[in-house]
Amino acid sequence: MKIVKYYSNKIFYIVTIVLLILYILFTFLLINNQKKLLQSEKMGYESNKIAYELRTSSEELTKYVRTYVITANPKYEKSFWHILNVRNGKVPRPDGRTIPLKTLMKQLGFTQQEFEKLDYAQNNSDNLVKKEVIAMNAVKGIMSDETQVLMLPNESNRDFAIRIVHDAAYHNDKAAIMNPIDEFIELVNKRIEAQNEYYNNLSLIYIFIDSLVVIGLIISFFTLLAKLKYSLKMEQESSSKLIEKQKEIVELVELINQKNTFVAGLTHDLRSPIFAEQKALEVLLSKKAGIEFEPFWETLQDIYKTNEELLYMVNNYLSLYHYESGKLEPNLKAVNIADLVNSAVRSIKYLAKHQDTTINIDIQPDLPFIKVDKGQIISVLVNLISNAIKHNTKGKDIEIKVRKVDFSIEVSVKDNGKGIPEAEQPNIFERYPIKKREIGTGLGLYLAKQIVEVHNGEIWFETQEGIGTTFIFSLPIEF
């Protein structure tokens, strides 16, 4: 029997380690894929920026040369040459770099077909500049052999200059610049869209696999806790003598320390990749990726909700570890409480949507800044709002109000649920206040109270059975 137990435990730990390795691997692949997606989007932005600069510079050159041949004002000629010199890399750009536009085109790594379109457009623009320079020189009385050939009989220098920058040939030359730019933009956008579609599909696969691995890890985690509880029970039942009980206490303390270390390490290691998954899911669910996942939409929402609850539990376990180990010291910075409320609401908007709940926010304008630990106060808000959503009557609203009361900022979160039974009210802020819970860890309100009190604040609640509950906390403006 002991041999069977030994090998079953060994297999359990091997499976857990394999799951952790798979989780790290696919999370790394997901993050790397998201970086490639961002690089692809940046490439598209820079490509359109280059095309826009070429188009804009050509239009600006036309505007200044036409204005100059009519007014002969030298400031327009100066503006003309400044734009041309920036484009040709003779004077610094607004960002301080002195680099020709054509060099920037080469550095972006366009395909041969894309580069030829943009290069053809710039060459046409450079050729048109020669005609524009002839027009400006004619206004100044500088006549070249080419000017004499182009002038009509009895045509004045000014009329000649105006004509050659307005005639049909000039417009055809402009079209020879703009058309290749439009074709270039179309080619680049098609390539970037294809790349983005590939990376988004790959992200969806990685997220799905990672979610399965996370489920396996959670099962392993709770199995380990069950094993620890079972071991504790067996040890307690087999203890008969005082010395054996003392030995059991030492062993139990060691097990608890190992469990706390394991929980802290596991929650810390799980938090970042779960957060990365959550952000990737938000991108997919917001449809900003430009791809429709209608067949998987309900599955994605369920994965997001499960992931959000996992992140909620992991954050609570990690906060509990920090509190009990004396590491819950706030990093105080001046912040706008409205920003923290909005950030907390954004982080759980899909949980609210899943519960068919609307969150109404009422924030008093021109509130003073307060010095708090941003992350800890957001954690308090997320705990209170999440509890309100979970206990709210489906389809009804949740109200969040922020007010200045005397020398404090007061925040309230009101749900329209069943209220808190009178028997449970005295212990509502205690650790694991309810014996049986449908969801969560029972740590949210306990941790919220610890964090608020560390900030020299207060937290309380008002409830009516059958009507709902309002949780309120206040933070001093000067801390």
User: Would the pLDDT of 463 be above 90?
Assistant: yes
Measured CA to CA, the distance from residue 40 to residue 199 in angstroms comes to 9
The Cα–Cα gap between 318 and 447 comes to: 10
Contact 100, 85 (CB under 8 A): no
Pick from 170-184, 233-247, 345-359: least confident = 233-247
Among 14-28, 102-116, 119-133, 315-329, where is mean pLDDT lowest? 315-329
Mean pLDDT of 435-458: 76
Residue 46: how many other CB atoms lie within 10 Å: 14
pLDDT at 269: 39
Mean pLDDT rounded to a whole number for the chain: 80
CA 352 to each of CA 357, 379, 382, 401: distance values in angstroms, whole numbers, following the listed order: 5, 17, 12, 17
pLDDT of residue 268: 38
Helix crossing, 297-324 with 444-454: angle to 10°? 50
% of the chain exceeding 70 in pLDDT: 76
Determine the pLDDT at residue 22.
Answer: 87
Q: What is the mean pLDDT of residues 130-146?
A: 85
pLDDT of residue 110: 84
pLDDT value at position 377? 94
Is residue 289 scored above 80 in pLDDT? no
Q: Above 70 in pLDDT, residue 271?
A: no
Query: 141 CB contacts (<8 Å, ≥6 apart)?
Result: 157
**Smallest Cα–Cα separation from 54: which of 149, 142, 118, 139?**
118
Q: How do residues 382-406 score in pLDDT, each as one tens digit? A: 999 999 998 999 889 999 999 999 9
Total residue count of the chain as it appears in this document: 479
- Does residue 6 carry a pLDDT above 70? no
The rounded Cα 264 to chain-centroid distance in angstroms is 25
Q: What is the pLDDT of residues 46-55, one digit of tens each?
A: 888 888 888 8
pLDDT for res 78: 93
> Rounded distance, CA 117 to CA 112, Å?
9
pLDDT at 266: 44
Angle (nearest 5°) at CA 64 between 63 and 69: 105
Task: List beta partners, residue 401.
Answer: 362, 412
Note whether 463 and 469 are within 8 A (CB).
Answer: yes
pLDDT of residue 199: 86
Q: How confident is residue 270, by pLDDT bands cut at 50, 70 and 90?
A: very low
Q: What is the CA radius of gyration of the chain?
A: 34
Tell me the pLDDT band of 264, cut-offs 50, 70 and 90: very low
Helix intervals (H) in 92-167: 101-107, 112-139, 145-150, 157-164
Q: Is the pTM of this model over 0.85?
A: no
DSSP 417: B
Q: Say how far apart CA 338 and CA 403 lie, in whole Å.
A: 10
- pLDDT category of residue 419 using cuts at 50, 70 and 90: very high
pLDDT reported for residue 373 = 92
In this prediction, what percent of the chain has a pLDDT beyond 90?
28
